[in-house]
């Protein structure tokens, strides 16, 4: 919302205001230049609308790990679902005589160390057994 005062017939002075619900008019934050080099547009955020999306794409391309969405994608969800259907109980608990439903599917050889999503490299576990295995391996403290 803008608050304007008319001075004469042609001239008026306007101020930007923000009015909260049922509140008093409060001046809004002044706009500042877009942080993108050479952009003359004024914005309330760091970047104008045009450059905000460009910066997000650049962040996704250069600053995020290249496999951030590839490690566990839709393919993994399908494989995990098939494995859980074949192995609905925690394999470690079964060896000890307990019956516990599966909560996690564990890679015996982790993907980061060259493991695969083949059934021979998978193990169905409950949450506590999965945590214990990772403590034994030493990759969680």
pTM: 0.50
Q: Is 8 left (phi over 0), alpha (psi -120 to 50) or beta?
A: left
Model confidence over 69-79: pLDDT tens digits? 556 778 888 99
**Closest of 85, 84, 78 to residue 106, by C-alpha:** 84
Model confidence over 85-110: pLDDT tens digits? 999 999 999 999 999 999 999 999 98
Q: How far apart are CA 71 and CA 107, in angstroms?
A: 12
pLDDT at 112 over 90: no
Model confidence over 37-65: pLDDT tens digits? 898 998 888 888 888 888 777 776 766 56
Domain ranges of the chain: 1-29, 31-64, 74-137
């Amino acid at each position: 919302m803008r608050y304007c005062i008319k001075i004469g017939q042609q001239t008026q002075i306007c101020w930007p205001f923000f009015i909260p619900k049922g509140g008093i008019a409060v001046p809004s934050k002044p706009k500042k230049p877009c942080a993108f080099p050479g952009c003359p547009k004024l914005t309330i955020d760091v970047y104008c609308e045009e450059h905000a999306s460009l910066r997000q794409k650049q962040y996704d391309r250069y600053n995020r790990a290249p496999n951030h969405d590839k490690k566990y994608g839709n393919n993994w969800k399908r494989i995990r679902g098939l494995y859980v259907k074949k192995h609905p109980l925690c394999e470690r608990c079964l060896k000890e005589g307990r019956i516990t439903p599966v909560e996690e599917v564990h890679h015996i050889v982790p993907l980061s160390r060259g493991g695969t999503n083949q059934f021979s490299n998978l193990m169905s576990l409950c949450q506590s057994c999965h945590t214990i295995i990772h403590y034994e391996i030493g990759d969680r403290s």
